[in-house]
Amino acid sequence: MPYRQWTLSVPFALHWSLVKHPGLLRRAHQAMAEADGAEARGEREASWGAVAFTQYFGSALQMTPHLHLLVPEGLWDAEARFVALPAPEADEVGGVLRRVLRQLLEDFEETAEE
């Protein structure tokens, strides 16, 4: 089955926050997965899953924490059959990004207050 990979990088000024607050990384992964799942499911009654992982360093071994999310290009219906979905349009990708940014803004603000 086809898969799609989402990658989320954050501005340099926020790198240390991601490393210092592991819970923030977990919430970022969760926000990415929920946003993509909501966009993919829409109004459908279907199951969805994803694999998320964090990469802490760039190709030159500089600290560059960023997140990856690997998702299937489809959903599973009530009978556990895989239903393929078309690749997301640009506005759908924008919708995922807006959902993730809204959630992460609140999370980064909370860690900044600590």
Residue 54 burial (C-beta neighbours within 10 Å; 0-12, 13-18, 19+): middle
Q: What is the pTM of this model?
A: 0.72
Report pLDDT digits (tens) over 36-84. Answer: 666 666 656 777 788 888 888 888 888 888 888 888 888 888 888 888 8
Q: Which one-letter DSSP state was computed for residue 44?
A: -
| The pair of three-digit structure tokens given for residue 77, joined into one six-digit string | 């219906």
pLDDT of residue 24: 83
CA distances from 95 to 32, 35, 44, 83, 91 (A): 11, 8, 17, 22, 6
Tally of domains in the chain: 1
pLDDT at 79: 87
Q: Give the phi and the psi of residue 78 in degrees, each rounded to 5.
A: -60, -25
- Average pLDDT value for the chain: 81
Are 29 and 67 a contacting pair, CB within 8 Å?
yes
Range of the domain at 106: 3-113
Q: How far apart are CA 97 and CA 31, in angstroms?
A: 10
41: CATH:
3.30.300
What is the mean predicted confidence (pLDDT) over 94-104?
Answer: 83
Q: What percent of the chain has pLDDT over 70?
A: 89
